Structure 1
């Protein structure tokens, strides 16, 4: 099974930010009179911000208007910008370096805003061939659009791509785009990741990628 390019989700795969995103979401909902458990937001990782808000309200059978959606969206974004601190996931950084050394094309596909993505990726010791952010697509994950957009920028078939994800919506997006998906247990347990082709722990990432990528044997 020789894959020729690797695409990484960012939040929860490259960088440990999901707990800060979840904290910011809970804060924004709470100050507007709504309280939700953390899992509600972890399961919606990768979904565009305003769509997340609508989906959470739909899940609770609560009607919502555009004014409230916009207010929660801005409050979440501002809280995250002010409070978020993050660290890179060491196993992913090691994998990125190994791929870069072998000149294997690497991409990032994330629902995060371009401004934040640029800030994060600028601190890494590698350069990505393709970057797709939430600002680049009409439909975010679980739609296949983000991954298809990345794939269209290189000449490989979808089946020649390996995607590394950590959340159900990202897995759905990658699989719908035709890629082989490794799910890494960084933010959610295995039971939430079963749609992936393979589920791994962070420490297994480099070994599994080497086994799948042409030119890394």
Structure 2
């Protein structure tokens, strides 16, 4: 293994936002007469917003029109904007600082909107070399497109990329893109992260990343 660049998911990896996203999703669905447990949305983390709505209804064999999709999407976004508060995940920030100091290229690949991504990243003490948001791709996770887009900015092989993820769809996206995937148990238990090459606790992130890139 010869890792030359590291790519991070954002929600649930860099910032502790997933519980707020899930709360917003549940609120929006409830407002439209549908009650779903939290796991329904945690398992779809990384999927673009409208695709999440379509996928949930398809999973429960419910047919809806695009107008309803748009309504739920807007309600979710508005609720999240109004109520969400977030904190950075300290172990990830420490890892980002260490990589930046060693001049290892770092990227962020997220399904979140560019507006929110810019807000989050502007408060970090590091600068990302590559940023891919949900607005930059036609197909979001679990498609490999987001990670392939990031990888295309450098001449490194896909196998020379390390991806840090925390959700099944993100892991699938990273693996299909050809990267080595390290899964962090920030929002889901290890049993949901089995497709990753390695599963760790947040406290072990810095050590494992540095060990994988041999620094």
Normalising by the residue count of structure 1, what TM-score does the alignment of the two structures yield?
0.98
Which stretches of structure 1, 4 residues or longer, exceed 4 Å deviation after superposition? none
Deviation at 1:10, TM superposition (A): 0.1
Which residue number corresponds to residue 68 of structure 2?
68
CA distance in 2, matches of 1:79, 1:55: 20
CA distance in 2, matches of 1:2, 1:177: 16
Deviation at 1:2, TM superposition (A): 2.4
Unmatched 5+ residue regions in structure 1? none
Cα RMSD, aligned residues only:
0.5
Deviation at 1:155, TM superposition (A): 1.1
Q: Aligned pair 1:82/2:50, yes or no?
A: no
Which residue number corresponds to residue 145 of structure 1?
145
CA distance in 2, matches of 1:188, 1:111: 18
Give SS of 2:142's match: coil
CA distance in 1, matches of 2:118, 2:212: 28
Give SS of 1:139's match: coil
CA distance in 2, matches of 1:116, 1:31: 24
Give SS of 1:182's match: strand
CA distance in 2, matches of 1:115, 1:66: 24
Which residue number corresponds to residue 102 of structure 2?
102
Q: After TM superposition, list the pairs within 5 Å mapping 1:190-205 onto structure 2.
A: 190-205=190-205
Which residue number corresponds to residue 179 of structure 1?
179
Deviation at 1:82, TM superposition (A): 0.7
Unmatched 5+ residue regions in structure 2? none
Give SS of 2:140's match: coil
- Map Cα deviations across residues 136-170 of structure 1 (whole Å, 9 max, x no partner): 00000000000000000011100000000000000
CA distance in 2, matches of 1:21, 1:74: 13
Q: Aligned pair 1:133/2:133, yes or no?
A: yes
CA distance in 1, matches of 2:60, 2:3: 41
Q: Alignment length, in residue pairs?
A: 215
Which residue number corresponds to residue 36 of structure 1?
36
Give SS of 1:6's match: strand
CA distance in 1, matches of 2:6, 2:191: 24
Deviation at 1:207, TM superposition (A): 0.5
Give SS of 1:143's match: coil
